[in-house]
Copies of this chain bind each other. A is one copy, B any other.
Amino acid sequence: MLAKTPKPPYFAVIFTSTRTPGDHGYEAMAARMIELAAQQPGFLGIESARGQDGLGITVSYWRSEADIAAWKANAEHLVAQSKGKEEWYAAFATRVAKVERDNAVVRGS
């Protein structure tokens, strides 16, 4: 479940959100966006969690800022972004960050 990313530097898009009540097609679209993101050039991995209090965090990892820009402009993704802003999200924030160093530990490895 943890993303296996290459050696830094690479880029992260940190997307945090709270939902409006009800599904309204959200879960299906969220799953589709993860599937679609994984097909894009420069995609390195994704991690996503939504807690019981409703706060959701999705971090996607990318090779370059150009790859992030291309994914943002993807036609199907643009439709999802529009629906998110108009209907699904009570609040959201997007942060683009350059990962400078990382450290991963898997028990028993």
Q: How many copies does the complex hold?
A: 2
Judge whether A14 and B14 touch: CB under 8 Å.
yes
Interface size of A by Cβ–Cβ distance < 8 Å? 42
CB contact under 8 A between A96 and B107, given known A55-B49, A57-B49: no
CB contact under 8 A between A91 and B107, given known A47-B55, A49-B57, A57-B59: yes
Question: Which label, helix, strand, loop or mixed, suits the secondary structure of the A interface?
Answer: strand
How many Å lie between the Cα of A89 and that of B100 in the bound state? 23
Chain B residue numbers with a CB within 8 Å of A97 are: 12, 97-100
Judge whether B16 and A47 touch: CB under 8 Å.
yes
**0/1 interface trace, chain A 57-97, chain B, CB 8 Å (1 if under):** 10100000000000000000000000001000111111111
12 A-B pairs within 8 Å (CB atoms) are namely: A1-B54, A2-B92, A3-B93, A8-B95, A48-B51, A49-B53, A50-B51, A57-B59, A59-B59, A89-B107, A96-B101, A97-B99
